[in-house]
Structure 1
Amino acid sequence: MIQITGERSVRTCQGVNRREFLRIGSLALGGLTLPQLLQSRASEGARRLVKDKAVVLLFLQGGPSQIETFDPKMTAPAEIRSITGEVQSRLPGVTFGGTFPKLAAMADRLAIVRSFASGNADHQNYMTVAGGGNPTRAPMGTLYARIAGPNHPRTGIPNNVILPPEAVNPGMRLPRNFETDSLNKLINASANLGANYSFFDPSGGGELRQNLELRLPRNRFTDRRALLSQLDTFRREADRTGAFENAGIYEQQAYELLMRGVSQAFDLSREDPRVVSSYDTAGCFDQAEVNRWGDMRRSSNLLGKQMLLARRLVEQGCGFVTVMDAGWDMHSNSNSPRNLGGMYWLGPQVDHAVAAFLNDVEVRGLSEKILLVVTGEMGRTPRIGREGGRDHWASLTPLLLAGGGLRMGQVIGQSDRQAGRPATQRYTPQHLLGTVMETLLNTGEVRVASEFPRDVTNAIGSGGGETIRELF
């Protein structure tokens, strides 16, 4: 456990030598010190298999409507077509749902798959999509971390991170509902390949979070800002004195992890306030009002900051970030507003947060590096129900992709006239898994690599190498 104590254990920042730092800065994970953990990640095998790419998966919990998102079908009968209307996109003849004007304006930088079907109509099975249907039942980020290693070799940033709303506001406690249990099942599944490769959850809880936690006496450091200030002082003194000049490379990386990686990447207060403002979605809706509805108890207006944190983590070397956004189970019954009223809250938030993310990564030259995937565990029924809502539907699921060096500016596949089933080739979670792994890894070499468990390499190739071919 990384632990900085009071003066009884450490004389002063000026007096800390390399040996003392490594003693107080050790990270116990399966008996490994932090330098040993980093060294294990930097094997030649991992380097040859991993591309300089990253994936951010924005998972819309509850099952977003394929119609009100990216396939509005406005020429269909009233009981089918989008309740929120449509907006013309940048692509000729292509419209998006009416709550997505910003994404429509950048459709030339997106790929929309209108024939993607999760084959799942059950909230309790996020793994159908988040795991790409692979036989280990581990999320895609866990599969990636099993090949790439649990941490980045230079920065030590975890390679498989999950960001629920609490990640950007750890003091917030969202009410429980069915999505809480579904999220916990997904988190538990992330340990299927071993605890070292499971989700790192910065919102708190779990062994990995505890092992990376910086602990100081309460009477000395009473808030996070004071802690970061103390770390900065330590860093400046270590740099000035050259205390680590003779350290081994992995000891130096351990120092980087403590002083620059973890302490900064997860801290949004270090971001340019103008950038933070550009992501901000707090004004999209009153969270207290939304949380009154049973199926929207885990909805938050923090998605913009979650996406900003995802970008910061990828910049520091994280290979896979899963961002969770809840409340998309819009039956329009007593647990959600009539006539898909929740779309007017959650739709604009996703529109703004994703547009801000894509603009930001483009400015930073990261568009080719980062693949953004936006989807959920299912879609919604084509026919609007009596109260103006849509129920669970397995035969079509919305899917948006952006960046990653893939072919953008296209709509892939078509749905039937009711937006209920694919009218062209049906793409599945296995195709999504193949696409993601092909982006992140040299999959041909992974499949024949002998240093990894066969169930892992088989899982990465479980789709027979199938991808969403139009993207390549």
Structure 2
Amino acid sequence: MPSPCPGNPLSGSPFSRREFLNVGLLAGLGLTLPEFLRMEAQGAQKFYETKEGQAKAVIQIFLPGGLAQHESFDPKPFAPPEYRGPFGSIKTALTGVHFGEKLPHLAKIADKITVINSMSHGEAAHERGTHNMFTGYRPSPALEYPSIGSVVSHELGPQNNLPPYVCVPNVPNTFANSGYLSSAHGPFALGSNPSDKNFKVRDLNLPNGVDDARFQRRKSMLETVDHHFRTLENADSLESMDAFYQHAYRLISSQQAREAFDLNKEPDKLRDTYGRHQAGQRMILSRRLVEAGVRFVSLTVGSWDHHDNLKQGIEKNLPAVDQAVAALINDLEQRGMLDSTLVILSTEFGRTPKTNKTGGRDHWPRVFSTMMAGGGVKKGMIYGKSDALGGEPEEDKVSVEDFAKTIYHQLGITADKELMAPGERPIEIVDGGRVLKEILG
């Protein structure tokens, strides 16, 4: 085996610092943390001062597949049966406002939330609609846009030794990633379901056979190797590599970080209130994470692409989400966290106003519903209106850009700010749109 080159081991040696760690110590430490920890080349390490907004954190609840507006927040009880659908409607805490009958828990707390019944965009394909809702941009073949969570990570950074952006349980789609931003701002994913009996977050526990004392010895070994290579190298990228390892050490060794992900710290009664199902346990974990210091939590739950047998699909999926979202909002309020935590319930598009021959509804981006609560958003408001059949916006049409810009505004992030894309190309965080000041408190 050739000996290391004394000139520039990063470029010429088979035992460069990076390669040495990848082959040996890195694997031994169990440092398989996601890409957000890798502070990439040329001084990517940067510390950000938190900008004060109404919200200090966001919980994004995304329902993949396309939640039907008629069966949720925008029922049409007086429409013909083929438009009205298989369910009735129920009264809410707001006079004259009805929700679909499968939302009894949210109906009771309608005076704590804002519902937007006039969301609209032009993308009827799942991937393109999802891209819209995760990035605030229409898809482009020329550029990969960052998710809202990644922009929040970039602008606000980490706190309390916790990742700024977490996906529960996994990164749900390619549009939830960092796009043209450094992968340092991509999401940390749990790797398993919080509702599993033996739920454990990957990467936060030392591998078998490595106790705390051994971990500290290996850290010391790595620091020795660092010092050796630092005497041989002058590359600026070394400092950004250090950021990755230091962040990894802090996360693995932080008792606060471990406890933030530990659902066993929650009382059984409260876990029951959320529901012992995927929706409930994902949402109670999300509350724990923002309470500990995570800036942006994105969770997905259910399957909502109900082209066939809409009735069965809604009965299977919606009651758990209804229970869990209502419990989350009540829990945040009781802890004094609702005003500083923006809760978003969204989906990629709605469903056709008329049911099809197989008792389902097809893709329909022209109008659909989203929900927001906390984080400076008004309580007890229905914003926007669809027409009598639930097929087109009739009042106060809301665009994807409006929606994203409002989220950033509530976090104290200026959505008109330009970030640098590849090729030194400045790109606005959100191009166009307006802050929906009408829904803000």
TM range (shorter): 0.7 to 0.9
Alpha-carbon displacement from aligned partner over 1:60-80 (angstroms, at most 9, x marks no partner) = 000010110111110111111
Contact preservation (8 Å) 1:118, 1:377? no
Correspondence for 2:230: none
- Aligned residue among 56, 76, 80 for 1:73: 76
- Aligned residue among 282, 289, 292 for 1:316: 292
Cα separation, partners in 2 of 1:252 and 1:447, compared to 1, 3 Å: closer
Contact preservation (8 Å) 1:143, 1:456? no
Q: Distance in 1 between matches of 2:247 and 2:183?
A: 25
Contact preservation (8 Å) 2:70, 2:353? yes
Structure 1 residue 258 displacement after superposition: 2.3
Normalised TM-score (structure 2): 0.74
Q: How does 1:96-111 map to 2 (within 5 A)?
A: 96-111=99-114
Contact preservation (8 Å) 1:60, 1:324? yes
1:462 aligns with 2:438: no
- AA partner of residue 89 (structure 1): T
Cα separation, partners in 2 of 1:457 and 1:115, compared to 1, 3 Å: farther
Contact preservation (8 Å) 2:37, 2:248? no
- AA partner of residue 386 (structure 1): K
Structure 1 residue 459 displacement after superposition: 3.0
- Aligned residue among 185, 206, 220 for 1:215: 206
1:131 aligns with 2:135: yes
Correspondence for 2:262: 267
Normalised TM-score (structure 1): 0.70
Alpha-carbon displacement from aligned partner over 1:369-416 (angstroms, at most 9, x marks no partner) = 111111101100000111211001110122011111221211101101
Q: Distance in 1 between matches of 2:102 and 2:314?
A: 7
Structure 1 residue 186 displacement after superposition: 2.8
- Aligned residue among 435, 440, 446 for 2:406: 435
Correspondence for 1:289: none
Cα separation, partners in 2 of 1:195 and 1:255, compared to 1, 3 Å: closer
Correspondence for 1:55: 58
Correspondence for 1:202: 190
Q: Distance in 2 between matches of 1:192 and 1:341?
A: 40
- AA partner of residue 163 (structure 1): V
Q: How does 1:64-463 map to 2 (within 5 A)?
A: 64-125=67-128, 126-133=130-137, 137-149=145-157, 151-152=158-159, 155-164=160-169, 183-187=172-176, 189-203=177-191, 212-217=203-208, 220=209, 258-282=253-277, 302-332=278-308, 338-443=309-414, 447=417, 453=420, 458-463=427-432
Contact preservation (8 Å) 2:344, 2:371? yes
Structure 1 residue 456 displacement after superposition: 9.6
Figure out how many residues of one structure are paired with residues of the other and give that number: 365
Q: Distance in 2 between matches of 1:281 and 1:133?
A: 35
Cα separation, partners in 2 of 1:363 and 1:29, compared to 1, 3 Å: closer
Local SS of the residue matching 1:400: strand
Structure 1 residue 185 displacement after superposition: 2.4
Local SS of the residue matching 1:96: strand
For structure 2, list consecutive stretches of 5 or more residues without a partner in the other structure.
1-27, 193-199, 217-244
Local SS of the residue matching 1:69: coil
For structure 1, list consecutive stretches of 5 or more residues without a partner in the other structure.
1-22, 168-179, 222-226, 235-249, 283-301, 333-337
Contact preservation (8 Å) 1:163, 1:324? yes
- AA partner of residue 259 (structure 2): Q
Contact preservation (8 Å) 1:437, 1:460? no
Structure 1 residue 107 displacement after superposition: 0.4
Structure 1 residue 161 displacement after superposition: 1.0
Q: Once the two structures are aligned, what percentage of the paired residues are identical? A: 29
Q: Distance in 1 between matches of 2:247 and 2:365?
A: 50
Contact preservation (8 Å) 2:349, 2:368? yes
Q: Distance in 2 between matches of 1:381 and 1:431?
A: 23
Local SS of the residue matching 1:79: helix
